[in-house]
Amino acid sequence: MKVVIMAGGRGTRISELFPDIPKPMIPVCGIPVLEREISSLKEQGFTDIILTVGYKAESIMQHFGDGRKYGVQIEYFVEKEPLGNAGALFRIKDKLTEDFLLLNADAMFNVDFNRFVKFHKAHNGLVTLFTHPNNHPYDSGLIVANKEKKVEQWLTKEDKRPKYYQNRVNAGLHVINPEALDLKVTTDKVDLDRQVLKPLCSSGKIYCYDSPEYVKDMGTPERYETVCKDFENGTVEARNLKNKQKAIFLDRDGTINKYVGFLRNIEQFELLSGVSEAIRKINQSGYLAVVVTNQPVIARGEVTYTELQEIHNKMETVLGKDGAYLDGIYFCPHHPDKGFEGEVKELKINCNCRKPNPGLLLQAASDFNINLEQSWMIGDGKNDIQAGKNAGCKTVLIGDDEFGQDITVYSLLEFVNQIVC
């Protein structure tokens, strides 16, 4: 599979640190970020690369040459004048005869591209976007998708966004079928997001691939410093899903938000004190933060799937404003007992996902390659502890009771400060 890397950027926001270096050549621990990207691709079998270059193109071409030094084959397209971030694609379209990877050269990433490509091929779409949560969704482009991962909306920074939204950010990594480029372009300068990809939303042909793997923009001095620290401490490599992950599984009600019984009204959702700080520290620790929650209100007919999604959107929005994020949210909609007015009969079943059964944790472990023995389950009830034990995790209870848990605390933040930090 060909890989097209857009490496023409100047990097105006970070120019105060590197005024004479093109953004793809900015060093991360002594090696240009583009070189680290190419090395990661080569290790995974992606060796046919096209670099689109512009600003100080000669310095990039001189450094990489034809790629043989790095075990790859590199071709170049040189932009004589700025073509936007997609204009070059239409100039090299004849070279793109099958699905290809399209990547940015100005971000630090380390992801399992074979897993990404496998998802794309299984869904047979025109485009698959690599999406992830981040700690600043309020100023990032957001992707809205349905349960089948089909993209329904693309909210760019200038678009008005809803009050509450899912923290699903476009990471700038794509798998694209050349048919997606079969649109008439009337200008040389083309914006990939706004002119090519955003119009495909709601077509049923564009999907999102959600992953907690490491992809970070390094366009500001602060973000660049974070990337360098993450590389030095091993976080960048460790987050690749080819490696086993470790997670902190979080119950929702009574652990993240105030317990109000069955939460049916979004206005009742309120974060507990210290939760944002705790989850922010989990994000920085190398653990994944994954919510696993029983939601029998769906089966009981008291909350719809749409209403539950909106509650979870509120949770993600509030956390995002505090610089925290969740890597995954898993819920069980079932309830075994019948006889409720308005109940959804097909959801009135005994299932493997309702805690104390371990199904939600096992599904997350499969999705994110999680080592359950190195992971924790934390909640405020017996079912949480039993679910954690049934999955093979270490367990933490918030409260005073004794259910055989490994650790007892009085808040999520206490646990994080005691064990994680």
Tell me the catalytic residues. Answer: 251, 253
Contacts of 17 (CB under 8 A, 6+ apart): 26, 221, 224
Both tokens assigned to 34: 């583009």
- The answer, yes or no, to whether the previous bond of 356 is cis (omega within 30 of 0) is yes
Q: Which two tokens stand for residue 54?
A: 């512009």
∠ Cα 122 326 398 (to 5°): 130
| DSSP state for residue 102 in the 8-state scheme | E
Cα–Cα distance for residue pair 184/100, rounded to 1 Å? 20
Q: Which amino acid is present at 38?
A: I
Backbone CA torsion sign across 406, 411, 415, 416? positive
For the chain, the 3-state helix, strand and coil shares in percent, each to the nearest 5, are 35, 25, 45
What does the radius of gyration of the chain's CA atoms come to, in whole angstroms? 23
Query: In 218-327, where do the E strands start and end?
Result: 247-250, 288-294
Q: Which of 193, 184, 101 is nearest to 140 (CA)?
A: 193
8 A C-beta contact, residue 382 and residue 401 = yes
